[in-house]
Amino acid sequence: MDGNGRWAEKRGLPRLVGHEQGAKSIRACVEAAIEAGVEFLTLYAFSSENWKRPAAEVAGLMRLLERFLDEKVKEMKKEGVRLQAIGRLQELPSSCQRKLAEAIASTETNTRLTVVLALSYSGRTEIVEAVKQIVRESREGELSEDDITQDFFSAHLDTRNLPDPDLLIRTSGEMRVSNFLLWQLSYTEIHVADCLWPDFGKDDFFEALADYQKRNRRYGGI
Which active-site residues does the annotation give?
2, 50
Q: Give, rounded to a whole angstrom, the gap between the first and last alpha carbons of the chain.
A: 33
DSSP output for 171-216: -TT--S-TTSSTTTTTT-EEEE-SS-GGG--HHHHHHHHHHHHT--
Long-range contacts of 94-99 (CB under 8 A, 24+ apart): 95/66, 96/62, 96/65, 96/66, 99/65, 99/66, 99/69, 99/70
**3-class state of residue 107 by DSSP:** coil
User: E strands of the chain, at which residues?
Assistant: 40-47, 81-86, 113-121, 167-170, 189-192
Angstrom distance (rounded) from CA 2 to CA 173: 9
